[in-house]
């Protein structure tokens, strides 16, 4: 294992400057958000964006780019610097990436929501173009030549007429003395001149990843640290009633036990509380924890039982709820009669279960904390630790390691808070390590949901009225005591933004009380909303006696930009995103037709085989998935082929897009086949991959084909959009193969034999 050296950003930059380097700081946040924050508006939940990203060029020509987002296989650490390097006209072989610490000066560092490239593509281009222009000007001044006659060309500035050439390293000191150009002076490279944008690229860290040299949160350590395993309250909000740690203290290697105070509602990002065992190894800490004798006071959430709660949600979904979208007159259309189709859908709680469970090292010293964590949100780590220990945010330094997967879990910094609290109490550095069992039993879970759908069909088979309700404990329950209804942002995740041309349409939300921590998982509410919407569309197609592909295309209607008036007044994208990212029905139709064509939709299949499809827009990206599945006579489901067509606008790295969608197919297979977290008397029943399995090779798709649509639309999300259409496409394929309609996730609940 490597020791972690505490190299500050300031120290790094001082080193660069002392070497005569050129260091450039540029604004890195979208202008719409800057304007909102400057005017006192609510930019990203009130977080003011005051940040910079730094580019440094050494005198030897080495280009340093700071990667300010977390890397967990999502590829942003490679993609964003390549955008900058392209506009800089840098040689990628001479670029070194430096991982940023948590600092609001970098803008948002919360690496979730599939918005790393979307939010920072333009700022990175500006950074590269700005530096390139300054280097060209420095060369022109040295040569006493007109600037327009000089040109950047692969890590150098050249003057073609005279044959003069100066490398970036030779120009760095002179360029650093020039004034920073205004944005209006920049000239971006044409697409035809791009070296890296849109081109295949391996991960920057690939050599370390495949050789075992990469440092993850579980690898980080510093001299003199203790290892900690925490016994958390089995029920959310529980407290220690009595403790006997005598046997624990007799375990070899165990040094002491320490209490972690219960959280104060709302729990937010606080530690869960409990008792920590500190030892000289993880093994000793885990063995010592087994010997703890704790009597718990479970609290109000001990009433939580999954089956009873499921019935409660389904009953709520049958009743009128809070209206979020209302077009036409649904009640009047239903009153006219006609063929009515009703269906109830259910999706359970889900755990993230990344390959690497949470881990963090913290050292509290002289009123300051340094922490090393596999976190998606280093600024969240700063805020949570500072709030818990009564420190200033700037007194908490968060170093970001590589993440061995995350799927949203590591945006919650509770494990880092535990390390900081224990370090202060113990007077030594402490590493908190969560086991797989800890990770699954004490996760911030993806919400359980029940959905009710109802439509009446006209003579042409199309819905004349469409009612949909969703009921789930909202994410806001994590931050607001007693929150039981969804906020508009969750409803807009695949539910209020249904793209179909419907004359009478109403969307409602029912109340649901949370009994566990509710967080966000890869694609968030799109998981269950897409499952209900696109399963129901398939049901309507069959009820109308029509081909599902033709039926969905008919519901989408002609290619058009969906009018903003068709969406709710509080639709979250209206302020910042809708102008640049409107709902484009033409793009949606295209990915559906492309996926169907590549899959061979309509071809004759053997008995027991079927094809299913779904098309969904999430994180501003359009994805259609067609699945060819087989159900054997014994009820075994075989996924023969997956075809996903994706239109994410401008694609920076096609290789990473394919990787993300291939990974999404396996991830979504796990959710669709096996994903279910349940509770008995408030205690989570599952604990490891034995009872919360991920898809095995025999269960995963045998073939996955990703078809990328090329266009010049602004870049959109990549990491999450591959998940939502998968489950409905699979379940629709199972119906096509068997005639059995399944309305609950996961498949383990279904009887297919």
Contact 415, 85 (CB under 8 A): no
Distance, CA of 670 to CA of 675 (rounded, Å): 6
- Given this model, what pLDDT does residue 569 score? 79
Interhelix angle for 116-143 vs 76-88, to 10°?
30
Same domain, 520 and 392: no
Q: Is residue 217 part of a domain?
A: no
- Given this model, what pLDDT does residue 51 score? 26
Distance, CA of 459 to CA of 454 (rounded, Å): 17
Distance, CA of 422 to CA of 204 (rounded, Å): 35
Same domain, 163 and 76: yes
Residues 437-448: pLDDT tens digits?
Answer: 999 999 999 999
Same domain, 265 and 117: no
Same domain, 455 and 399: no
Distance, CA of 423 to CA of 437 (rounded, Å): 23
Contact 438, 272 (CB under 8 A): no
CA angle (155 as vertex; 152, 156 as ends), nearest 5: 55
**Strand order in 637-647's β-sheet?**
609-618, 621-631, 637-647, 704-708
Distance, CA of 128 to CA of 122 (rounded, Å): 10
Domain that holds residue 733: 306-350+444-749
Tokens coding 629: 């599945």
Of 185, 211, 237, the residue at which a domain comes to its end is 211
Of 211, 246, 272, the residue at which a domain comes to its end is 211
Residues 104-142: pLDDT tens digits?
Answer: 888 899 999 999 999 999 999 999 999 999 999 999 999
Percent of residues, the chain, with pLDDT higher than 90: 88
Distance, CA of 375 to CA of 412 (rounded, Å): 8
Tokens coding 469: 């309700």
Three-state SS at 706: strand
- Residues with Cβ within 8 Å of 177's Cβ and at least 6 positions away in sequence, in order, are none
Q: Is residue 81 part of a domain?
A: yes
Q: Is residue 218 part of a domain?
A: no
- Given this model, what pLDDT does residue 324 score? 96
Contact 84, 68 (CB under 8 A): no
Comparing CA positions, the residue from 256, 249, 261 lying closest to residue 228 is: 256
Contact 401, 373 (CB under 8 A): yes
Residue 30 pLDDT grade (very low, low, confident, very high; cuts 50, 70, 90): very low
Number of domains in the chain: 3
Instruction: Assign 3-class secondary structure to 176-235.
Output: HCCCCCCHHHCCCCCHHHCCCCCCCCCCCCHHHHHHCCCCECCCCCCCCCEEEEEECCCC
Residue 231, number of CB atoms within 10 A of its CB: 23
- Given this model, what pLDDT does residue 40 score? 31
- Given this model, what pLDDT does residue 284 score? 98
- The answer, yes or no, to whether residue 626 has pLDDT greater than 70, is yes
Q: Is residue 691 part of a domain?
A: yes
Contact 465, 340 (CB under 8 A): no
Three-state SS at 409: helix
Instruction: Assign 3-class secondary structure to 68-109.
Output: CCCCCCCCHHHHHHHHHHHHHCCCHHHEEEEECCCCHHHCCC
Q: Which residue has the higher pLDDT, 107 or 665?
A: 665
Residue 367, number of CB atoms within 10 A of its CB: 11
For 363, phi then psi, to 5°, come to -130, 115
Same domain, 519 and 600: yes
**Sign of the dihedral through C-alpha 247, 249, 254, 257:** positive
- Residue 119 carries which DSSP code? H
- The answer, yes or no, to whether residue 275 has pLDDT greater than 90, is yes
Distance, CA of 67 to CA of 324 (rounded, Å): 39
Q: Is residue 474 part of a domain?
A: yes
Contact 662, 706 (CB under 8 A): yes
Instruction: Assign 3-class secondary structure to 573-612.
Output: HHCCCCCCCCCEHHHHHHHHHHHHHHHCCCCCCCCCEEEE
Q: Which residue has the higher pLDDT, 573 or 81?
A: 81
Q: Which residue has the higher pLDDT, 13 or 494?
A: 494
Same domain, 175 and 192: yes
- Given this model, what pLDDT does residue 564 score? 82
Same domain, 177 and 252: no
Average pLDDT over residues 258-272: 97
Same domain, 391 and 481: no
- Given this model, what pLDDT does residue 577 score? 76
Determine what percent of the chain falls in helix, strand and coil, rounding each to the nearest 5: 35, 25, 45
Interhelix angle for 548-556 vs 585-599, to 10°?
170
Of 433, 464, 483, the residue at which a domain comes to its end is 433
- Given this model, what pLDDT does residue 750 score? 85
43-61: b (≥16 Cβ within 10 Å) or e = bbeebbbebbbbbbbbbeb
Average model confidence (pLDDT) for the chain?
92
Residues 562-608: pLDDT tens digits?
Answer: 988 888 877 876 555 788 899 999 999 999 999 999 999 999 999 99
Same domain, 459 and 603: yes
- Given this model, what pLDDT does residue 38 score? 32
Element (H, E) at 129: helix 116-143
Residue 658 pLDDT grade (very low, low, confident, very high; cuts 50, 70, 90): very high
Average pLDDT over residues 49-64: 71
Contact 478, 444 (CB under 8 A): yes
Residues 196-230: pLDDT tens digits?
Answer: 999 999 999 999 999 999 999 999 999 999 999 99
Distance, CA of 194 to CA of 312 (rounded, Å): 56
Contact 96, 84 (CB under 8 A): no
Contact 23, 54 (CB under 8 A): yes
- Residue 503 carries which DSSP code? S
Place of tokens 């009123």: 367
Contact 65, 82 (CB under 8 A): no
**Sign of the dihedral through C-alpha 677, 678, 679, 683:** negative
For 224, phi then psi, to 5°, come to 80, 10
CA angle (648 as vertex; 643, 652 as ends), nearest 5: 110
Same domain, 490 and 546: yes
Residues 418-466: pLDDT tens digits?
Answer: 999 999 999 999 999 999 999 999 999 999 999 999 999 999 999 999 9
Residue 751 pLDDT grade (very low, low, confident, very high; cuts 50, 70, 90): confident
Comparing CA positions, the residue from 355, 370, 449 lying closest to residue 409 is: 355
Q: Is residue 706 part of a domain?
A: yes
Distance, CA of 205 to CA of 138 (rounded, Å): 33
For 111, phi then psi, to 5°, come to -85, 75
Same domain, 340 and 366: no
Distance, CA of 451 to CA of 453 (rounded, Å): 7
Same domain, 609 and 487: yes
Tokens coding 339: 């063929």
Please report the DSSP string for 12-63 in residue order: HHHHHHHTT-EEEEEE-S-HHHHHHHHTT--STTT-----EEEEEE-TTS-E
Residue 52 pLDDT grade (very low, low, confident, very high; cuts 50, 70, 90): very low
- Residue 561 carries which DSSP code? B
Tokens coding 463: 């819905």
Q: Is residue 3 part of a domain?
A: no
Three-state SS at 357: coil
Residue 249 pLDDT grade (very low, low, confident, very high; cuts 50, 70, 90): very high
Contact 523, 724 (CB under 8 A): yes
Interhelix angle for 168-176 vs 116-143, to 10°?
90
- Given this model, what pLDDT does residue 1 score? 36
Q: Is residue 371 part of a domain?
A: yes
**CATH label of the domain that carries residue 189:** 3.30.365.10
Residues 354-384: pLDDT tens digits?
Answer: 999 999 999 999 999 999 999 999 999 999 9
């Amino acid at each position: 294992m490597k020791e972690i050296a505490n190299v500050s950003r300031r120290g790094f930059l001082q080193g660069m400057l002392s070497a005569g380097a050129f260091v450039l700081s540029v604004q890195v946040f979208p202008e719409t958000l800057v304007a909102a924050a400057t005017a006192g508006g609510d930019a990203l939940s009130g977080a003011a964006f005051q940040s910079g990203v730094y580019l440094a060029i050494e005198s030897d020509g080495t280009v340093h780019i700071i990667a300010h987002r977390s890397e967990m296989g999502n590829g942003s650490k490679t993609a964003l610097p390549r955008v900058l390097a392209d506009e800089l006209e840098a040689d990628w072989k001479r670029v070194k990436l430096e991982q940023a610490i948590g600092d609001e000066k970098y803008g948002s560092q919360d690496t979730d929501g599939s918005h790393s490239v979307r939010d920072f593509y333009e700022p990175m281009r500006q950074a590269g173009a700005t530096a390139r222009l300054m280097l060209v000007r420095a060369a022109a001044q040295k040569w006493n030549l007109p600037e327009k006659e000089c040109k950047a060309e692969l890590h150098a500035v050249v003057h073609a007429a005279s044959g003069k050439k100066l490398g970036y390293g030779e120009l760095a000191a002179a360029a650093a003395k020039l004034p920073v150009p205004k944005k209006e002076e920049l000239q971006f490279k044409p697409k035809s001149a791009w070296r890296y944008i849109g081109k295949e690229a391996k991960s920057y860290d690939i050599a370390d990843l495949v050789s075992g040299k990469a440092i993850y949160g579980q690898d980080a350590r510093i001299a003199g640290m203790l290892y900690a395993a925490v016994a958390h309250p089995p029920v959310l909000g529980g407290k220690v009633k009595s403790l006997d740690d005598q046997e624990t203290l007799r375990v070899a290697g165990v040094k002491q036990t320490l209490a972690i105070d219960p959280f104060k509602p709302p729990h937010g990002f606080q530690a869960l509380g409990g008792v920590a065992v500190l030892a000289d190894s993880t093994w000793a800490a885990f063995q010592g924890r087994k010997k703890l004798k704790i009597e718990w006071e479970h609290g109000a959430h001990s009433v939580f039982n999954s089956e009873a709660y499921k019935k409660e949600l389904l009953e709520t979904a049958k009743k009128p709820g809070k209206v979020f979208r209302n077009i036409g007159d649904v009640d009047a259309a239903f009153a006219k009669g006609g063929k009515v189709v009703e269906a109830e859908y259910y999706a359970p709680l889900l755990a993230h279960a990344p390959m690497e469970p949470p881990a963090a090292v913290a050292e509290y010293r002289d009123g300051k904390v340094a922490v090393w964590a596999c976190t998606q949100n280093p600024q969240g780590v700063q805020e949570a630790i500072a709030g818990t220990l009564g420190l200033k945010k700037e007194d908490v330094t968060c170093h970001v390691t590589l993440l061995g997967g995350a799927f949203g879990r590591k945006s919650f910094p509770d494990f880092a808070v535990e390390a900081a609290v224990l370090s202060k109490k113990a007077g030594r550095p402490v590493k908190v390590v969560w086991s797989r069992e800890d990770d699954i039993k004490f996760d911030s879970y993806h919400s359980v949901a029940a959905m009710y759908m109802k439509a009446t069909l006209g003579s042409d088979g199309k819905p004349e009225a469409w009612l949909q309700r969703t009921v789930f404990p909202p994410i806001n329950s994590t931050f607001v005591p007693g929150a039981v209804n969804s906020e508009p942002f969750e409803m807009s995740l695949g539910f209020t933004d249904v793209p179909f041309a419907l004359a009478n349409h109403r969307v409602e939300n029912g109340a649901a009380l949370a009994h566990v921590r509710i967080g966000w998982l890869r694609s968030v509410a799109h998981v269950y909303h897409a499952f209900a919407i696109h399963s129901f569309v398939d049901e309507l197609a069959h009820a109308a006696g029509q081909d599902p592909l033709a039926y969905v295309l008919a519901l989408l209607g002609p290619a058009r930009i969906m009018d903003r008036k068709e969406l709710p007044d509080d639709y979250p994208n209206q302020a910042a995103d809708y102008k640049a990212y409107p709902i484009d029905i033409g793009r949606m139709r295209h990915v559906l037709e492309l996926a169907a064509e590549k899959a061979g939709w309509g071809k004759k299949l053997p008995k027991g085989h079927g094809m299913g499809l779904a098309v969904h827009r999430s994180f501003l990206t359009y994805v259609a998935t067609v699945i060819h599945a087989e159900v054997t006579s014994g009820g075994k489901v075989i996924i023969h082929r997956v075809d996903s067509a994706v239109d994410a606008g401008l694609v920076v790295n096609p290789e990473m897009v394919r990787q993300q969608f291939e990974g999404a197919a396996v991830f979504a297979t796990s959710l669709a086949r096996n994903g279910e977290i349940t509770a008995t008397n408030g205690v989570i029943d599952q604990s490891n991959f034995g009872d919360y399995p991920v898809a095995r090779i025999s269960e995963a798709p045998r073939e996955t084909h990703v078809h990328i649509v090329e266009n010049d639309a602004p870049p959109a999300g990549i990491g999450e959009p591959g998940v939502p259409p998968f489950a409905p496409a699979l379940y629709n394929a199972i119906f096509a193969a068997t005639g059995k309609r399944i309305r609950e996730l996961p498949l383990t609940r279904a009887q297919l034999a």
